[in-house]
């Protein structure tokens, strides 16, 4: 079975300085997983040409799809497009279609040099349209170049996602129990050993006020036809240990 893989590159000093809590990676991650594309890595890097060049090259080789967010606006610190052009030996030039879109969008006389900069891209790209603020992203090889503003990125990403080749969606079942993780651990280990084609994740949580806690057990698989048997064994195991459970 083919599994399509993906990597995300978040380009932005504002995330590394902590001033911005990134939410783009999580939005993309959720939607990829639900669509049958396996996200294998997220990297958050500085607005620096050499970092961007190295990362896009590496990711483009490693993964079927690469999504970048950030750095395609009109200011001097927006260097994603020119870095990608350099990474793939493309010219960095005005894209006529993007230029026309932006020229139509801005009122007469307001399509200034900085705004025109948003139509500069590597040569030979396909545009990703932006229904909110016009400035397009682009596709080059397996690279999907998106803006950093979440609301705009999200709309553009969802449109892109529709046209991607996808695998079977990942099967996921999540079971909550009030038992502690360390109680469950040896049993989960045995069940994991038995079902190697699925992955059994165990995510503890604590309520520090009530001093209670529990675990969310996530069973997931990209390849199994059914998770029923694993699910049954885990529920039996929870009962055997005197715990409660519900599906999340």
CB of 115 to a second copy, least distance (A): 4
Tell the residue number behind the tokens 């609301």, with chain if given.
Answer: 151
Least CB distance to a second copy at residue 17 (A): 5
What are the CA-CA distances from residue 72 to residues 15, 66, 89, 136 (Å)? 16, 16, 18, 9
Instruction: Count Cα neighbours of 122 within 13 Å in the Cβ-side half-sphere.
Output: 24
The residue (of 21 and 89) whose beta carbon lies closer to a second copy is 21
| 107, two tokens | 């009122």
> Shortest Cβ distance from residue 89 to a second copy (Å)?
25
Q: How far is the CB of 124 from a second copy (least distance, A)?
A: 26
Between 168 and 206, whose beta carbon lies closer to a second copy?
Answer: 206
Binding site for a second copy (CB under 8 A): 13-23, 25-34, 39-47, 73-77, 112-115, 117-118, 132-133, 149, 151-152, 170, 172, 174, 181-186, 188-189, 192, 199-206, 208, 218, 220
Count how many residues are written for the chain.
Answer: 248
CB 237 to a second copy: min, Å: 13
Nearer Cβ to a second copy (25/145)? 25
Return the number of the residue (204 or 229) whose C-beta is nearest a second copy: 204
State which residue, 40 or 233, has the beta carbon closest to a second copy.
Answer: 40
């Amino acid at each position: 079975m083919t599994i399509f893989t993906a990597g995300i590159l978040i380009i932005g000093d504002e995330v590394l300085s902590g001033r911005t809590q990134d939410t783009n990676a999580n939005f993309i991650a959720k939607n990829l997983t639900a669509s049958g594309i396996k996200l294998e890595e997220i990297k958050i890097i500085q607005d620096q040409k050499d970092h961007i060049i190295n990362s896009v090259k590496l990711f483009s080789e490693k993964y079927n799809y690469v999504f970048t967010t950030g750095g395609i606006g009109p200011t001097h610190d927006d260097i994603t497009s020119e870095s990608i052009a350099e990474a793939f030996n493309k010219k960095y030039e005005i894209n006529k279609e993007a230029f026309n879109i932006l020229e139509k969008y801005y009122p007469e006389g307001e399509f200034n040099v900085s705004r025109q900069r948003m139509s500069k891209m590597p040569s030979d790209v396909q545009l990703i349209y932006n229904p909110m603020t016009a400035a397009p992203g682009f596709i080059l090889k397996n690279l999907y170049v998106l803006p950093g503003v979440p609301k705009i990125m999200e709309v553009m990403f969802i449109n892109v996602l529709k046209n991607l080749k996808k695998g079977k969606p990942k099967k996921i079942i999540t079971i909550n129990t009030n038992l502690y993780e360390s109680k469950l651990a040896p049993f989960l280990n045995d069940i994991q050993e038995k079902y190697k084609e699925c992955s059994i994740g165990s995510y503890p949580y604590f309520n520090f006020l009530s001093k209670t806690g529990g675990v969310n057990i996530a069973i997931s698989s990209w390849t199994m036809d059914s998770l029923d048997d694993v699910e049954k064994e885990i529920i039996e195991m929870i009962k055997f240990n005197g715990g409660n459970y519900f599906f999340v």
